[in-house]
Each structure stands twice: as C-alpha cells, then as structure tokens.
Structure 1
Amino acid sequence: MSAITVEGVSKVFAGASGQSMLALSDVTLDIADGEFVVLLGPSGCGKTTLLRIIGELESPTTGRVLRDHGGQTAGAEKPLGFVFQEATLMPWRSTAANVALPLEMAGVGRRERMARVREMLTLVGLAEAEEKYPHQLSGGMRQRVSIARALAHDPKILLMDEPFGALDAQTRDTMNVELQRIWLETRKTVVFVTHSVSEAVFLADRIVMLGTKPGHIHSITEVTLPRPRTVDMTESAEFRHLAAELRRQIGEVQDTEARPALSA
C-alpha cells in the first residue's frame, strides 16, 4: 500500500531578474507504507524542494501529492513529522518540554502528554535527560530530541532534511545506527534528504537520485543489504560497489546542460 504518491510534480520559482527558474520537472514517485526512501543528488537538484512539497511547506506549480492511495490529498489523517538540519529546540524549555510541544498544541492532557514524552525519550535513548536544557546536550543528543518531538504525535510519515549534516563523522555514524533502530521499531514511512552517498546506502530501502537543470528523477536504486545494518557493513564489497555506482551517477548528472530559464 502506498503512503505517498507524487504525480507529475513541477515547481517554478520566480527569479529576481524577471525570469523564472524551473526547480523540479514532472516528478512522479510512489513510496510504500513503512518504506525508508532517501533523496540523493548534487546541490541544486531539488531534493529539499521535493521534500517541502511532500510536507506541504511548498505548493507544486503543477501536479499533486496524494497519501494512502485513498484519494486523499496530503494533509489528511495524521499529521506529518519533520526533522531539519538544525534541531530548532526552544532553549528555555527542557528536553521533556520540547518533546511535549506538539502535544500541547494539540490539546493533549498533561498525564497522557507526559506518558507519551517519556515513551519517546526512551525510544531515542534519552530517558535520563528529560530535565536537561538544549545547551546541556551534545549535537547528536539535540537531534535525538528533535526526532522524539517529531514522533510525539505519532505521525504516519517522517520527513527529514539532512538532519545529521552538521554533525562530525563519528557522531553521524552513531546517529545513522540509532535512526535505523528507531525506524525498525516504529516502521514509519521516512523520506530522508542527504548529500552523503554512504548515509544513503546505509539507511535506505530505495535511493531516488535526482538530476539537475531542472530537478528530475534520474534513477531509483533498491538497496538489498540486510538489516539491521552495522557500521562494519560499510566496508563490505556490496556496500562499496553500490556507493561507487551512485557516485558515478552523481558525476553523470552534474554534467548535464545549464538549467533553462522560463519567461515570467
């Protein structure tokens, strides 16, 4: 069953010089319920734009996004969960209070709210940090709080825009392992944007490679590595071969012609 269907989505942005830029062109994509899909590609290929359209933070110029294949448009049923590159935690709120925020906004009662917060903090491995404030947490811990907050209201779909891009390599590896564990436990549908080939191969069920000028689907690659995946698997021949092929494709799409300009 499909969780997300992207049908013929294109996006045009108005340019400062009176011309318009075609950021995405005729993107069609089907994402299964519970699938972990990674959007990969060079800078400027429209990864974040596509994610924002899926998440209703941007509207497509043409095309549409559907959920659940029931004829319902994006936004129906349970809300989406978002995790961005910056944790965007409120510095004056404790860990528990930051995670509780979407539940407060939804009017969930205090007892139910705190039970859910503790459940989410246990899930992300921060049960002992509920009274700490963001400045007392490491970068990786702050992103775990962001993930807990995004999952607190039990969204069907989790959208993640380079959530570990600002972390050091060792912490990033740790967070990839942790995110995989959380996903295996919750089986949310995840759409994840990254510039990192290794991160994409480690996390994904499928990798959607976007080409540039304008953004379009260049290829879709299924990752058949067994789960749970470990950091040691990144040294395996299968992992290295797939990563090398994806890097070759990125080089291929970077050689495309310049992005065309459209009249306003």
Structure 2
Amino acid sequence: MSAIKVEGVSKVFAGAGGQSMLALSDVSLDIADGEFVVLLGPSGCGKTTLLRIIGQLESPTVGRVSLDHGTRSDGDRPLGFVFQEATLMPWRSAAANVALPLEMAGVGRRERTARVREMLELVGLPEAEGKHPHQLSGGMRQRVSIARALAHDPQVLLMDEPFGALDAQTRDMMNSELQRIWLENRKTVVFVTHSVSEAVFLADRIVMLGTKPGHIHSITEVTLPRPRTIDMTETAEFRHLAAELRRQIGAVQDPDNRSAVSA
C-alpha cells in the first residue's frame, strides 16, 4: 500500500528579470507505508524541493501528491519534519520543545507529559528533560528535534539533511540511532542527503535525482540486512553499492558541482 504517491510533479520557480527555472520535471514516485526512502543526488537536483512538496510546504506547478490517510478517524495524516538545524526554542527545555506540537493540538497536560517522556526515552535522552538547547551537544539537539517530530505520532517523517552539520563520528552515531528508532516504530520516512554512505546505511530504496531539471534518474533497492552496523560499511556488498551510486552521480552531475557529494 502506498503511503505517498507522487504523480507527474513538476515545479517552476520565478527568477530574476522575468526568467523562470524548472526545478523538477515529471517526477512520479510511490512510497510504501513504513518504507525508508532516501533522496540522493548532487546539489541543484531538487531533493529538498521534492521533500517540501511532499510535506505540503510547496505546491507543485504541475501534478499532485497524495498521502494515504490509513485508518485515522479524523481524516488527518500528520507529518513530522526534521531539518538540518535543530530549530529548537532556546528558552524552552528539551521536554517543553518536544511538547510543543502536543500543546498546539490541545493535548491535556497529563497525556502530554507522558508522551514527552516516552519520546525522550525513545531517542535515548531521558536525562535531558529539563535541559535547554545550549546545554546539549549538536547530536543531542537533533535527537530532541526527532522526538518533537514524533511526539504527535505522525505517519510520515520528512528529514532534510538532519545530520549534515555534525562531525563524522557523531553522524555515524546518529544514523545508527535513527535506524534503531525507525525499526521500533516503522514510520514512513523520506530522507534527503548528499552522502552516499549515509544513504546506503539507512535506506530501503534510494531515489537518485538528476539535474537540469531535477528528475528521477534511477531507483535502487538496498537489500543489506537490518539492523545495519557501522562495521557493515567495510563489507564488499556495501562498498560495491556505494561505488555504483557514485558512478551514477558522476553520470548525472553538473561538472561545476563535482565536489558537492560526500562519501
């Protein structure tokens, strides 16, 4: 069953001097319920634009996106967002930041408190409940962001390079933590990255986008067993798949952007 259905989506942005730019062209994609899909490709291929259209933060110029409402009686299909920056409110504690979407939804204090504690436990930060963002490391702040995004029990989690600003060791740790969280709740995840290794480690399927304009170049299924460990990045199967994806990026990438894709 499709959780997300993208049908013939194109996006045109108005440019300076009356010029227009075609950012995405005729993108169609089905994402299954509970699937972890990674959008990969060089800068300028429209990964974030596609993610924002799926998340209803942008409207397509042509085409449409359908979100399956499943069995929710209220007809709502909430979306959770995690961005590259944690975007936590500095004056609120970790618990109060996680509670924000619940407050906005009118959830009662007792239920809200229980849910916040459950989410902080899920992301491995029960001890951070009373701490403020400046007291947390970058990785811890992103864990709080994930807890906040999951607090209202979204069926779809959208993540735009959430670990891109972290150092390599912390990023590896966060990828392992995200996989653990996903294995526990099986949300549908759409994840944007420039990192080939991150894509292979996390994804069920990798959607490679090409440039000028943004379009789907290929879709690759990742069959590595789960749970995946950092040691698996040294295996022949992992290395072979990563090398093939880098070859594909070389085939679609603008020569001026060859340094945009990381390991």
TM-score normalised by structure 1 residue count:
0.94
SS at match of 1:17: helix
Matches within 5 A, 1:33-52: 33-52=33-52
Aligned CA-pair RMSD: 1.5
Map 1:153-168 onto structure 2 (within 5 A): 153-168=152-167
**Corresponding residue of 1:215:** 214
Paired AA for residue 47 in structure 2: K
Runs (4+) of structure 1 moved beyond 3 Å?
none
Q: Please tell me the residue identity of whatever aligns with 2:246.
A: R
Quote how far apart the aligned CAs of 1:69 are: 8.0
Which residue in 1 is equivalent to 2:79?
Answer: 80
Say whether the 8 Å CA contact 1:4–1:69 is kept in structure 2.
Answer: no
Secondary structure in 1 matching 2:141:
helix
Instruction: Give the % identical residues.
Output: 90
- Structure 1 residues 92 and 24, CA, compared in 2 at 3 Å: closer, same or farther? same
2:197 aligned partner, one-letter code: S
Deviation at 1:50, TM superposition (A): 0.0
Q: Which residue of 2 aligns with 1:259?
A: none
Is the contact between residue 4 and residue 65 of structure 1 (CA under 8 Å) also seen in structure 2?
Answer: yes
Deviation at 1:76, TM superposition (A): 5.1
Provide structure 1 residue ranges, at least 5 long, that are not aligned to the other structure.
257-264
Q: Tell me the TM-score normalised to structure 2 length.
A: 0.94
**Equivalence for 2:55:** 55
SS in 1 for 2:16: coil
Indicate if the aligned counterparts of 1:2 and 1:69 stay in contact, CA closer than 8 A.
no
Once the two structures are superposed, residues 224-255 of structure 1 have per-residue CA deviations (whole angstroms, 9 ceiling, x without a partner) of 00000000000000000000000000010015
Amino acid at match of 1:18: G
Matches within 5 A, 1:1-264: 1-68=1-68, 77-255=76-254
The answer to whether the Cα contact below 8 Å between 2:211 and 2:254 also exists between their aligned partners in 1 is no
Shift of 1:77: 1.8
Question: In structure 1, what residue type is equivalent to 2:217?
Answer: H
Contact 2:41–2:208 under 8 Å retained in 1: yes
**1:162 to 1:98, Cα distance in 2 relative to 1, 3 A:** same
Supply the distance in 2 between the matched residues of 1:142 and 1:41 (Cα, whole angstroms): 26
| CA–CA distance in structure 1, aligned partners of residues 57 and 2 of structure 2 | 21
Per-residue CA distance 1:81-114 (angstroms, 9 max, x = gap): 0000000000000000000000000000000000
Name the CA shift for 1:198/1:155 in 2 (closer, same or farther; >3 Å): same
1:68, CA displacement in angstroms? 1.8
- CA contact under 8 A between 1:9 and 1:26: conserved in structure 2? yes
The amino acid that maps onto 2:104 is: M
- Cα distance 1:76–1:247, how it changes in 2: closer, same or farther (>3 A)? farther
Deviation, 1:78, is 2.7
- Mark the CA change 1:160 to 1:76 in structure 2 (over 3 Å): closer, same or farther: farther
Corresponding residue of 2:261: none
Post-superposition Cα deviations, 1:145-178, rounded to whole Å, max 9, x if no partner, equal: 0000000000000000000000000000000000
